[in-house]
Structure 1
Amino acid sequence: MPNGNLENYLFGRDGSSSGGGGGGGTAATAGPAAALPSTGPRMVSSGALSWRDRVRIAAEVASALLFLHTAPIPIVHMDLKPANILLDTHLTAKLGDVGLARLAPMLARPAGPAAAAVQAGGRSTVMDSRLVGTFEYMDPEYMQTAQYSARSDVYALGMVMLQMLTGKGGKQVISQVEAERRDPLGFGPCIDPRAGPWPLAEAAAFADLALRCVAYSRQDRPDLRSVILPALTQLKQRTHLYEEQQQQIQQQQLKQQQQQQDGVPPMFLCPITQEIMDEPVVAADGYTYEKLAITEWIKRSRTSPLTNLPLEHTNVVENRTLRSAIREWSEQHSRQQEQPRQHPQQYQPPTGEPPVAAAKAATPPPVPPQPPPLPRAATEDFGGW
């Protein structure tokens, strides 16, 4: 059963009051989105969507749209918006309110030799007798020419993605995100803080894809099947890597606490491996890492492991002062470990035997006193009596 809609979570208001020439409360489940795996029950409350949930929901909505667009008789939703994206108790997305949807048999992909002539990738359009939808999410070319296509839904999907990224509504979100993307270092403030610590690299990829979807020209928007859904699927899969990384960080923190209990100075530990550094080097972010660890990190990412900001360069410099301090500490620690510990020999009672009883058992019992010998006469046989 639906538990709410995306608008409730993003803006904290009832989607039933949203504007638009909608078809009332009509709801339908579209495509395989309902069958996609969820990550388990979550607390349902307004604004509780994590960035991982938002990426997954975008992928599920794109999958549902592709199901509609590739049906034997293609269907264009025409009113995709947060209020029409229903979420169940597991926050799995379903498309609702299909009252404005258009059947578009002329958009079906032809088979055979005719297919090559229609590889314009969704450029085929249909003339509509009247404009329908919600202004904020309507294709600009559709409003200008009254012609729609499958990429009219792509525009609406891009608007929804931008709103999931920022937590803000209105068409002005396009210009806001575009301005932020021109300054990579200033991109972070536009991300909805309620989404949690969204990695800048992942948020930037999500934003760039959304901006391509809201291109004014229909021909400039990416194809849903070949570009959008694969990109969102890849972003969704990478969220699992961040979950695993978070678990590793927690394990490293526990390990660091144990090392601190053993007396290891925190400055001697590599922030990546949480182990004592052998070749400490300083990276472009100003922090010191184990040389092998930061080198492997830079091969996979050009961002700082600690600040998540882009690294200005990939060069590293030896931290000789810290290396000398680590080696001096290691030698002293090794000598302390090698010193023998003398303990007095103590009797260890057998397992399960009380100490008192064991102590008594360890001492032999005293020999009872022997009676004095009898006189010889007493030992003679008086059988003659």
Structure 2
Amino acid sequence: MILCYEYLPRGSLDKYLYGESDELNWNMSFKIILGICRGLRFLHGLQRPIIHMDLKPSNILLDDNLMPKIADFGLSRLFGEEQTHAITSNVLGSRGYMAPEYYYRGEVSTKSDIFSLGILIIEIVTGLKIDSNTEDISSNNLIDNVRKNWTKMPQIASKYPGLEAICLQQVKRCIDVGLTCVSSNPKERPSVQVIIDRLSGGSSYPSNS
């Protein structure tokens, strides 16, 4: 058997977020966020949904046009047609990106990916990095930092000086979406379609302001 994969010359997203490259501007970052969300919508919308279970910057690959591709399905779960949840005793993944119900109780659902997506969005927008080695994921310094320093428009404008007002609104929506995605209660996390609608300018749920 020969497997052929698309060539993705830009490598993984993490090198653009963690200081190795300053190539990304806001428009590029927003395009990447929307692309990741659309990829996840495809996975969750299949007749037999796929739960990725390891969304993080190093598993997002970029093509020549900076279009993101979700990669590394080694930990993914294939659900049945009517299946919405699963329980596992074999909890694997990257700690900082794990939903608490998965890390502590082995509960798997599409909302597991939504939590990881929220962390990923926050990292892309802020340039901050989650501590993926922490033993206590209930204590999340990244989320606390963002809630304190990134939820008001004057704070956001100070982080993105010179950015047009319409783009600052996009940043604000991304922060609001990211924080909603990382709710400790999976029932409070939106579906990926609601996330896309909100990022595109809809008002599917209130902001965190």
| Range of TM-score over shorter length | 0.7 to 0.9
Task: Supply the distance in 2 between the matched residues of 1:175 and 1:188 (Cα, whole angstroms).
Answer: 19
Q: Map residues 177-216 of structure 1 onto 2, 5 A cutoff.
A: 177-181=146-150, 183-190=152-159, 197=163, 199-216=167-184
Partner of 1:52: 27
Quote the offset at 1:106 in angstroms.
5.7
Quote the offset at 1:63 in angstroms.
0.9
Contact 1:125 1:147 in 2 (8 A): yes
**TM score, norm. by length of structure 1:** 0.45
What SS is found at the alignment partner of 2:122? helix
1:148 is aligned, of 108, 113, 123, to 108
Task: Supply the distance in 2 between the matched residues of 1:84 and 1:67 (Cα, whole angstroms).
Answer: 16
**TM score, norm. by length of structure 2:** 0.80
Partner of 2:195: 228
2:63 is aligned, of 88, 94, 111, to 88
Partner of 2:8: 2
Quote the offset at 1:5 in angstroms.
1.0
| Greater RCO, 1 or 2 (C-alpha within 8 Å, sep 6+) | 2
Q: Deviations over 1:132-178 (max 9, x none)?
A: 11001000111121111001101111101100111110142211110
Q: 1:188 to 1:177 in 2, by over 3 A?
A: farther
Q: Is 1:134 matched up with 2:94?
A: yes
Partner of 1:159: 119
Any stretches of 5+ residues in structure 1 without a counterpart?
Answer: 14-45, 109-123, 236-385
Task: Supply the distance in 2 between the matched residues of 1:182 and 1:92 (Cα, whole angstroms).
Answer: 27
Quote the offset at 1:189 in angstroms.
4.2
Contact 1:73 1:105 in 2 (8 A): yes
Quote the offset at 1:184 in angstroms.
3.9
Q: 1:107 to 1:166 in 2, by over 3 A?
A: farther
Task: Supply the distance in 1 between the matched residues of 2:173 and 2:47 (Cα, whole angstroms).
Answer: 33
Task: Supply the distance in 2 between the matched residues of 1:185 and 1:141 (Cα, whole angstroms).
Answer: 34
Q: Which AA in structure 1 matches 2:13? A: L
Contact 1:128 1:146 in 2 (8 A): yes
**In terms of Rg, which structure is larger?**
1
Task: Supply the distance in 2 between the matched residues of 1:73 and 1:186 (Cα, whole angstroms).
Answer: 42
Q: Map residues 339-354 of structure 1 onto 2, 5 A cutoff.
A: none
Q: Which AA in structure 2 matches 1:147? A: E
Quote the offset at 1:128 in angstroms.
1.3
Q: 1:150 to 1:184 in 2, by over 3 A?
A: same
Any stretches of 5+ residues in structure 2 without a counterpart?
Answer: 1-6, 131-139, 203-209
Partner of 2:50: 75
Q: 1:183 to 1:88 in 2, by over 3 A?
A: closer
Partner of 2:136: none
Partner of 1:367: none
Task: Supply the distance in 2 between the matched residues of 1:67 and 1:204 (Cα, whole angstroms).
Answer: 25
Partner of 2:185: 217
Partner of 1:103: 78
Partner of 1:246: none
Partner of 2:144: 175
Partner of 1:11: 18
Task: Supply the distance in 2 between the matched residues of 1:135 and 1:185 (Cα, whole angstroms).
Answer: 32
Q: 1:181 to 1:47 in 2, by over 3 A?
A: closer
Q: Provide the alpha-carbon RMSD of the alignment.
A: 2.1
What SS is found at the alignment partner of 1:169? coil
Q: 1:78 to 1:184 in 2, by over 3 A?
A: same
Quote the offset at 1:131 in angstroms.
0.4
Contact 1:77 1:102 in 2 (8 A): yes
Partner of 1:359: none
Contact 2:156 2:171 in 1 (8 A): no
Q: Deviations over 1:256-294 (max 9, x none)?
A: xxxxxxxxxxxxxxxxxxxxxxxxxxxxxxxxxxxxxxx
